[in-house]
């Protein structure tokens, strides 16, 4: 059994395919003993790869683009997990006829732990004719503090993921204004990445890993929300079963999880343009330098 440690940026139902592969024994079936570690204490997913703590990490392509933009090594993405933005825009007041003009002059408490949700928000605003400069977007508070601030009366809108969306809706503390997955459209939001050397030297491990992920993706495609929610429960012991079920159902309903592990060029180019337009990166980088599709295409056949 090959021992493998995977670093993830944060623990989230958004990453359900990973936990289906773990708890559904798909990794084990490929001879992989996978431990998932959530980064913290100043360690990042890209940092864990570059300093040798990990051979594989889960995260957004924006993380590799950021490293490359600053002259760092190419950290290559080889297996897609999410094909949609996993965040939601919640409103303090009910807005049954929400339009993006509703956020003008308002304060949106956004996700501070990663820039992609914010960058997608900027693109969506511009697409709907709203100047982002007319909206106050706050990204200063870590998630727990941001949640407490919103529940305490600060801000008009709150952009967050799961299970916090379902928890706030169930409590009546917020109303769903928009799914950022629907608003952003298809985009390779999260995928597995590795270093150039391991892409070459560890190819057999990456092939087995990707095969297990694809098996998990196919299982999800044929499962219902209750089955998925129950299988991943060990990874989320602090989330109430009904909230976990609702979160999975909402993600399934909008096609959040990729049906196969191939990171395709149009999605990559769309995401890169979002980051260029938002000023997060300053130079475009070649798809071929940051994406490897050979392993995933071999698995999918």
Q: What is the pLDDT of residue 41?
A: 77
Q: What is the pLDDT of residue 40?
A: 82
Q: What is the pLDDT of residue 186?
A: 96
Please provide the DSSP assignment of the chain as one string.
Answer: -EEEEEEESS--GGGHHHHHHHHTTHHHHTTEEEEEEE--TT--HHHHHHTTS-SEEEE-HHHHHHHHHTT---EEEEEEEESS---EEEESS--TT--GGGGTT-EEE--SS-SHHHHHHHHHHHHTT--GGGSEEE--S-HHHHHHHHHTT--SEEEE-TTHHHHHHHHTS-EEEEEHHHHH-S---EEEEEEHHHHHHTHHHHHHHHHHHHHHHHHHHTS-HHHHHHHTGGG-TTS-HHHHHHHHHHHHHTT-B-SSS---HHHHHHHHHHHHHTTS-SS---HHHHB--HHHHHHH-
Q: What is the pLDDT of residue 288?
A: 96
Q: What is the pLDDT of residue 279?
A: 94
Q: What is the pLDDT of residue 281?
A: 95
> What is the model's pTM?
0.95
Q: What is the pLDDT of residue 101?
A: 97
Q: What is the pLDDT of residue 25?
A: 98
Q: What is the pLDDT of residue 43?
A: 86
**Mean pLDDT for back-to-back runs of 10 residues, the chain (301 residues):** 94 97 98 94 90 94 94 96 97 95 98 93 97 97 94 96 97 97 97 96 97 98 98 97 98 97 98 96 96 98 91
């Amino acid at each position: 059994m090959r021992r493998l440690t995977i670093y993830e940026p944060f623990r989230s139902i958004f990453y359900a395919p990973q936990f289906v592969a773990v708890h559904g024994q798909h990794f084990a079936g490929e001879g992989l003993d996978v431990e998932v570690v959530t980064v913290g204490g100043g360690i990042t997913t890209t940092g864990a790869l570059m300093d040798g703590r990990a051979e594989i990490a889960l995260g957004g392509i924006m993380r590799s683009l950021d490293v490359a933009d600053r002259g760092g090594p190419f950290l290559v993405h080889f297996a897609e997990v999410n094909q949609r933005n996993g965040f939601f825009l919640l409103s303090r007041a009910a807005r049954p006829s929400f339009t993006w003009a509703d956020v003008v002059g308002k304060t949106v408490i956004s996700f501070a732990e990663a820039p992609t949700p914010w960058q997608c928000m900027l693109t969506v605003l511009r697409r709907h004719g709203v100047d982002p400069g007319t909206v106050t977007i706050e990204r200063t508070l870590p998630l727990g503090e941001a949640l407490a601030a919103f529940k305490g009366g600060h801000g008009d809108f709150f952009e967050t993921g799961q299970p916090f969306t379902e928890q706030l809706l169930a409590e009546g503390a917020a109303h769903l204004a928009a799914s950022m997955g629907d608003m952003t459209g298809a985009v390779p939001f999260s995928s597995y990445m590795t270093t150039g050397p391991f892409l070459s030297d560890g190819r057999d491990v990456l092939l087995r890993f990707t095969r297990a992920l694809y098996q998990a993706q196919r299982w999800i495609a044929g499962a219902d929300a209750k089955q998925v929610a129950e299988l991943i429960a060990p990874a989320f012991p602090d989330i109430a079963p009904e909230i976990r079920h609702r979160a999975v159902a909402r993600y399934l309903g909008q096609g959040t999880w990729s049906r196969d592990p191939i990171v395709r060029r149009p999605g990559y180019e769309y995401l890169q343009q979002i980051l260029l337009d938002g000023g997060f990166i300053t130079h475009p980088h070649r798809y071929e330098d940051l994406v490897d599709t050979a392993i995933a295409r071999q698995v999918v056949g």
